[in-house]
Amino acid sequence: MEVNDALVENLCKLACLEFDAAGKQEIKKDLQKMIGFVEKLNELDLHDVKPLLYMGEEMNVMREDIPEVTLSREDALKNAPMADEQYFKVPQVVKNPATSTEG
């Protein structure tokens, strides 16, 4: 695979990154090295190698799912900085652009 200026420009656009000309050339070299490394793996004979699905011998080790009450609502809310009778209250983090006064 060839790493050209158009590919670097497209990747920068997709990643919302901006680089000067020297930075783009450095990224171009780094991408070529990475692709070269991955292409080198194609030289290996993997005919009799089974795919690795799990890192260990055990598969899907899960505990029994038993519902239980671990913390009452009152205990969970008692140390909250802001709460009402049922919920945690948090500061607004998403602003409605229609009501925003910033401009």
Domains of the chain, residue spans: 5-41
Residue pair 11/30 in contact by the 8 Å Cβ criterion: no
Q: What is the pLDDT of residue 101?
A: 63
Residue pair 19/12 in contact by the 8 Å Cβ criterion: yes
pTM (two decimals): 0.46
Q: What is the pLDDT of residue 96?
A: 78
Q: Which residue has the higher pLDDT, 35 or 53?
A: 35
CA angle 22, 15, 96 (to 5 degrees): 130
Residues 71-78, mean pLDDT to the nearest whole number: 89
Question: What value does the mean pLDDT of the chain take?
Answer: 87
Residues 55-84, mean pLDDT to the nearest whole number: 85
Write out pLDDT tens, residues 16-42: 999 899 999 999 999 999 999 999 988
Q: What is the pLDDT of residue 102?
A: 59
68 pLDDT tier (thresholds 50, 70, 90)? confident
